[in-house]
Amino acid sequence: MKNNGDNLARIGIKLLMEGVFSDEISIREFNEIAQKAISDAQREKAKRPRSPYYSEVIEVIKLTWEKYPCGAKTALLDALAAHYHGKVSRNALDNWISLSGLRPPKPEKYTRLELVFPQ
pTM value? 0.61
pLDDT at 25: 63
Asked if the model's pLDDT at residue 1 lies above 60, the reply is: no
pLDDT at 118: 87
Summarize pLDDT for 64-74 with one digit per residue, the tens.
999 999 999 99
Summarize pLDDT for 18-48 with one digit per residue, the tens.
766 666 667 777 788 888 888 888 888 877 7
Is residue 15 within a helix (H) or strand (E), and if so which, with residue range?
Answer: helix 2-20
Mean per-residue pLDDT over the chain, rounded: 84
Asked if the model's pLDDT at residue 9 lies above 90, the reply is: no
Which residues make Cβ contacts (< 8 Å) with residue 80, sequence separation at least 6? 57, 60, 61, 88, 93, 97, 115
Mean pLDDT score, 63-91: 92
pLDDT at 79: 94
